[in-house]
Amino acid sequence: MNKPISQMTRAELVFEYSELLAVYEQVKAEGLSLDMSRGKPCKKQLDLSDGLLTVLQTGEDCSNAFGMDMRNYGMTIGVPAARKLFAELCGVEFDNVFLGGNASLELMFDAVARAELFGVAPGMKPWSQCEKVKFLCPCPGYDRHFRICETFGIEMIPVEMREDGPDMDTVEKLVSEDEAIKGIWCVPKFSNPTGAIYSDDVVRRFAALKPAAKDFRIFWDNAYMVHDLYDGVPDILNIFELTQGTENEDLVYMFTSTSKITYAGSGISVFITSDRNMKHAMKYIGAQIISYDKLNQYRHAIFFKDANGIRKHMKKHAEILRPRFETVISALDKELGGREMAEWSKPLGGYFISLDLQAASAKRVYELCLDAGMKLTEAGATFPYGKDPKDANLRIAPSYPTLHELRLASQVLCLCIKLATMEKLLSDMGFFENGTTISLNIGK
């Protein structure tokens, strides 16, 4: 049965539905434990960086050529060799690179916290003293960005995410009209979760934005900047370079990290911004910390040597991740292709596959999967306040499970999508009224 659902008769629907139900009951009986919920690297990927563990073995290893001892206090802005590495990788000046701890999320949260408490520049009103603060949120997007906004009571305005980036007509219109809009979250390469790559045109329009708010900042989370699954994926334009020397010089807060290059929990994070923004931020960071962990920054500098070292390393990640992505996508193609039940992204990099259901409810599919022993990212997570207006989007994270588990997981996912779709169609036809016997009593 591979007919598009629009062409199926009621009898065909009932037949397939009852078949699927039987399979689903079998799957449930197996007591699976599968997890495609978070963008966690798998063990094999983590193992790629185990050289980091022994790159500094003695006290002597911990000093650089200038006699700076990375074990001791000092160097608030970070280890020079590691700043140089990221200046090269990101195509920015050394002076514009600040190194944080193991989490760029913390750097983003803290950047928002500083804006709330102290304002984004000298003389600017702290956001916490503004009557209203709003952020634009391209959707579907990254739940942890949205959670930062929610934590600070920042109103989130969804903007449509397209294949080449956010809907820029809307972005330009909104930021130019509303002074309460102070920021936008962007994951410009392999956007979380759609995998979209911002086109040159989109990046140029961002660099030339004319926000009404003088304290508007673009939160440019380049988390997946070197996370290509295939050779020859085009790189995005360098928004930082585009803005330097223009009136938009202070527009961009750029972030990246090695969370998905080395260790998810023990990488290093990077904050790149203009001289003026950096000077302002350092005033507060200097009161917050003497420096982040310089040994770990230095480990990364020695381990990779230069930007090419990182790029070579990322090819090894691609070899591990590519078959994982392809396993899920080929299962979706095979099981759901042409059936008008869902559409899914075929990303060239990053960590996620985004799936949009045509008829079924994402919440229902999430629930069916969970009952069959498989955890997905919670339905709605990719939208502000966890509320997907169409209840249609699911984020699939294929990095963590083994290939064997992924094959199984993809089957379960497709099964649940079919089941939820049939259920919805049959329900709309009134099939479940009047005590029909084939009823599905799961979830909740």
Residues found near a second copy in the complex (CB under 8 A): 38, 40-41, 43, 46-47, 49-50, 53-54, 56-59, 61-62, 69-74, 101-103, 105-106, 109-110, 113, 116-117, 126, 128, 144, 147-148, 150-152, 263-266, 284, 287-296
Shortest distance in whole angstroms from residue 351 CB to a second copy:
12
Comparing CB distances to a second copy, the nearer of 18 and 151 is 151
Comparing CB distances to a second copy, the nearer of 92 and 137 is 137
**Whole-number Å distance between alpha carbons of 386 and 68:** 47
Q: Which residue in the block uniquely carries the two structure tokens 């480990």? A: 299
Give the 3-state secondary structure of residue 158: strand
Comparing CB distances to a second copy, the nearer of 43 and 173 is 43
Report the relative pairing of strands 97-99 and 269-272 from DSSP bridges.
antiparallel
Question: In the structure encoding, which two tokens stand for residue 96, read together?
Answer: 């514009």
Comparing CB distances to a second copy, the nearer of 206 and 303 is 303
Shortest distance in whole angstroms from residue 122 CB to a second copy:
14
CA angle 298, 269, 163 (to 5 degrees): 135
For residues 29 and 373, the answer to whether their CB atoms sit within 8 Å is: no
CA angle 192, 193, 196 (to 5 degrees): 75
Comparing CB distances to a second copy, the nearer of 47 and 319 is 47
Residues contacting 311, CB < 8 A, separation 6+: 226
* Alpha helix ranges (H) inside 222-306: 239-243, 275-288, 294-304
- HSE-up of 306 (CA within 13 Å, CB side)? 3
Give the 3-state secondary structure of residue 261: coil
Comparing CB distances to a second copy, the nearer of 313 and 424 is 313
Comparing CB distances to a second copy, the nearer of 29 and 287 is 287
Question: In the structure encoding, which two tokens stand for residue 222, read together?
Answer: 């380049």
Tell me the residue length of the chain.
Answer: 444
Structural element, H or E, at residue 159: strand 155-162
Comparing CB distances to a second copy, the nearer of 152 and 432 is 152
Shortest distance in whole angstroms from residue 285 CB to a second copy:
9
**Whole-number Å distance between alpha carbons of 133 and 105:** 20
Shortest distance in whole angstroms from residue 402 CB to a second copy:
14
Q: How many CB atoms neighbour CB 59 within 10 A?
A: 9
DSSP conformation letters of 176-245? HH-TTEEEEEE--SS-TTT-----HHHHHHHHT---SSTT-EEEEE-TTTT-BSSTTPPPPP-HHHHHTT
Comparing CB distances to a second copy, the nearer of 23 and 46 is 46
